Amino acid sequence: MSRLIRMDHTGHSTVAEWSADDPVAVEAAVVAFREELDRGYLAMVTTGPGHAEQVRELPIDSELVILRLPISGG
């Protein structure tokens, strides 16, 4: 089961869960993913130890997609 989670004031919230072989769940996850991006979140997937990648479309095969807010110089 893959998960789309958003880091927020609760620690993190699960926005969507899907299995690659469940088209309805994937579609719902894609819709939720786009809504979060429209809200200004950036989607990240881990691509190996010490590596992450921003994605602009939901990577269905990823186990975990993390939504984060933009960073800025303090």
Partner 1 sequence: MAPPLQGRGLSAAMDAAPAALLPETAAVPWRPRVDDRRLRRVGRLWTLTTVAHVVPFLLAAAVLVALEPLSLPVALGCLAHAWIIPELYAQRGANVARPRRRRAGGEGAERVALGLLGDLVDHDAREVHARTGLVPERGRLGTWLVGEAGALLVRDRRVFCWCVRVDDPDLPSGDRIAHLLLALRADEQGFATVANLAFAGSRWRVRRRLARPMRPALDG
Among 16, 21, 27, 37, interactor with partner 1 by CB under 8 A? 27
CA distances from 35 to 14, 39, 46 (A): 14, 6, 21
| Binding track over 34-63 against partner 1, x by CB under 8 A | --------x-x-xx-xxxxxxxxxxxx---
Helix (H) or strand (E) holding 25: helix 23-38
In the DSSP assignment, the letter for residue 69 is P
Binding region for partner 1 (CB under 8 A): 5, 7-12, 23-24, 26-27, 30-31, 42, 44, 46-47, 49-60, 64, 66, 68-74
